[in-house]
Structure 1
Amino acid sequence: MNSMASLPLSAVSGHRNLTFPCLLLLLLPATLLLPPLTFASPCRTSCGNIPIKYPFGVDDGCGAPQFRRMFNCSTDLFFLTPSGTYKVQSIDYDKQSMVIYDPAMSTCSILQPHHDFVMTDIQSIIMPPTPDTVFALLNCSIDSPILNHYKYLCFNFSGHSCDELYGACNAFRVFHLLTNSSPPCCFTGYDTVKFMSMNILDCSHYTTVLNSENLKGVGALDWDYGMKLSFSVPDLGCDRCSKSGGTCGFDTETEGLSCLCSISSNHTRDCVGGNITSGGPHEASSVFILIFLLGIIQLILSYY
């Protein structure tokens, strides 16, 4: 006769209750070696070949609220201002600078109809053009205020003069041909065009040159045309959110800090309800797995 048949039912069930949970506990260390859990961020991390990091965002609620609705991502990243849309060429997050390009701006090779460069008040404060971005105002009238009362606003940079633009650039040489002389022009800074429009300045065209401090002895054909903006990163306590695997953003109604953990999950400070330690997402994943396995063990024991 089978010896198991003579054993009481309680002894059999007791044997099962001890064996199966013990096997799960033996497997527990191995499960903790599984790859850490990751959170699916609702924020895009790139646009074209430009990485999108805090404080910027192209999706509403992402990044810092100060930069809200300043960017648009189609096939490329664009910076939006009241005067137009400017393609972002690069962003240096370490040096906190961004290079933009105005497709309607005149350069050495093309002459474009003049227009103003206008930023909002908040843009002018938190990400103005850098001091080494020079605005070249071209074909100015002899009655221009920058040639009279405000002539001190004009300067030469790195030993260059406006005549170089008229002489070296095909696009600007036409002004010399029309007047048989070099019409007045002015190298100036952003504050000049910030407070005076092109109509007030009485100059027909402009171009911008960046990294002007590095252009000594460099001809106009080889200048870097574009505009460099400097930005600051507001300290809103985003380190805690990042360490928990989240993305720092803001509430679209209150613009208060929000840690974005998934498309449907946001938290005030971090992605684990404030219980995360300095270990970051790896430690959080271990805690989640442990809790999950203990739940399974409890569920199995309830059936025995």
Structure 2
Amino acid sequence: MHHLLTPFTIFKLILLTLHLQLLQAIPIHTLSPCKTSCGTIPINYPFSLEDGCGAPQFRNMFNCTTTELFFQTPSGSYKVQSIDYNKKSMVLYDPSMSTCSILQPHHDFLMTDIQSAIIPPSQDTVFVLLNCSIDSPVLNHYKYLCFNFEGHTCDELYGGCNAFRVFHLMTNSSPPCCFTSYNTMKFMSMNILDCTHYTSVFNSDKLRGVGPLDWVYGIKLSFSVPDTGCESCGQSGGICGFDTETEALLCLCSSFTNSTRGCAAGTGSMISEGVYNAPWTRHQVVLLVVVFLHMVIGLL
């Protein structure tokens, strides 16, 4: 007696085979998709909120609460006000920093060596050291670290800002101040600098003739995006990431993509380890085997 497989049975076998093949094609990374925003701030490459997403150079630098994004440094957490991916800049606000309207306790701003190398304060960010003693290093041996800031003076700060006016009242004169870059604070703490407070402003090249009440207070950081083939990875439906143990670059495939070939190894210069590529030829071979078995059984 011939034991023929019905067309319906063959159809079920084909569907089961395809299902098993597609399960193998889905990379394990799809179980933990990368978050793309924190509150209203988009999180794109090279940044990330989960370890293994984004670029490994920036791993563990961000923390997201329910609605706010924070940048982590050795001296604290700083609220991220905005990220401009086109201009490759990020604006931070230090809630413990003194401004023209509020005087805060003594505070240092410090980044790690990696952070200061790959996402340093921008060239148009100026740090202002306030109420410095006459023995301050930046007023003596290292006075070259202070520079002219668009024609602004210490008297202007102490006279035009309510928060800084107290320094003028305490000494009945204008104590020294210093307009400098982040590198000064990187190598010398506020105690060594012998200045009691600091503030920082950005877009300094647009502040000539603008009084301190109208300065934009905060810290702008500049970053670069590593060229690792992420554009090709993104176009194929993947997200750039890395292996958390080896930091080898990965193209992480979305669990919602319907193309395993598009998000696979060989996209640009990305090292797509861990992303399984299941060629459609394998599916075709399996289908041919099923049909062949049907023919053989039918001849028995």
TM over 0.5: yes
3-state SS in 1 of match to 2:155: helix
Partner residue of 1:51 out of 19, 22, 42? 42
CA gap of 1:270–1:84, structure 2 versus 1, over 3 A, is farther
2:211 counterpart residue number: 219
Superposition deviation, residue 272 in structure 1: 3.6
CA gap of 1:101–1:302, structure 2 versus 1, over 3 A, is farther
- Could you report, residue by residue, the CA deviation over 1:2-56 in whole angstroms, capped at 9, with x for unpaired residues? xxxxxxxxxxx9xx97xxx9xxxxxxxxxxxxxxxxx897100000111000000
2:192 counterpart residue number: 200
Letter in structure 1 aligned against 2:146: C
CA gap of 1:40–1:217, structure 2 versus 1, over 3 A, is farther
Whole-Å separation in 2 of the counterparts to 1:85 and 1:150: 30
Q: Which has the larger radius of gyration?
A: 1
Partner residue of 1:110 out of 96, 102, 115? 102
Letter in structure 2 aligned against 1:88: V
Q: Where do residues 1-304 of structure 1 align in structure 2 (5 Å cutoff)?
A: 42-75=33-66, 76-262=68-254, 271-274=263-266
Superposition deviation, residue 84 in structure 1: 0.6
CA contact (8 A) 2:93 2:219 kept: yes
3-state SS in 2 of match to 1:254: coil
Identity rate, percent = 72
CA contact (8 A) 1:209 1:223 kept: yes
CA contact (8 A) 1:129 1:190 kept: yes
1:281 counterpart residue number: none
Superposition deviation, residue 159 in structure 1: 1.6
CA gap of 1:40–1:164, structure 2 versus 1, over 3 A, is farther
- Could you report, residue by residue, the CA deviation over 1:34-79 in whole angstroms, capped at 9, with x for unpaired residues? xxxxx89710000011100000001110100000101111131110
Superposition deviation, residue 217 in structure 1: 1.2
3-state SS in 2 of match to 1:191: helix
Superposition deviation, residue 252 in structure 1: 0.7
Letter in structure 1 aligned against 2:130: L
Q: Which contiguous aligned blocks of 4+ residues in structure 1 show a shift greater than 3 angstroms?
A: 262-265, 272-276, 301-304
Superposition deviation, residue 243 in structure 1: 1.5
Superposition deviation, residue 131 in structure 1: 1.1
CA gap of 1:275–1:180, structure 2 versus 1, over 3 A, is closer
CA contact (8 A) 2:233 2:267 kept: no
CA contact (8 A) 2:232 2:267 kept: no
Superposition deviation, residue 302 in structure 1: 5.8
What stretches of structure 1 of length at least 5 have no aligned partner?
1-12, 22-38, 277-286
Whole-Å separation in 1 of the counterparts to 2:61 and 2:265: 31
Task: Indicate the larger mover: 255-264 or 124-133.
Answer: 255-264
Whole-Å separation in 1 of the counterparts to 2:95 and 2:215: 16
Letter in structure 2 aligned against 1:207: T
2:275 counterpart residue number: none
What stretches of structure 2 of length at least 5 have no aligned partner?
12-29, 269-278
- Could you report, residue by residue, the CA deviation over 1:64-101 in whole angstroms, capped at 9, with x for unpaired residues? 00001011111311100000100001111111111111
CA contact (8 A) 2:251 2:264 kept: no
Whole-Å separation in 2 of the counterparts to 1:40 and 1:219: 53
Task: Please provide the CA RMSD for this pair.
Answer: 3.0
Give the structure-1-normalised TM-score: 0.75
CA gap of 1:41–1:216, structure 2 versus 1, over 3 A, is farther
3-state SS in 1 of match to 2:232: helix
Whole-Å separation in 2 of the counterparts to 1:93 and 1:40: 27
Letter in structure 2 aligned against 1:46: S
CA gap of 1:251–1:227, structure 2 versus 1, over 3 A, is same
Superposition deviation, residue 259 in structure 1: 1.2
Give the structure-2-normalised TM-score: 0.76
1:31 counterpart residue number: none
Letter in structure 2 aligned against 1:120: T
Letter in structure 2 aligned against 1:259: C
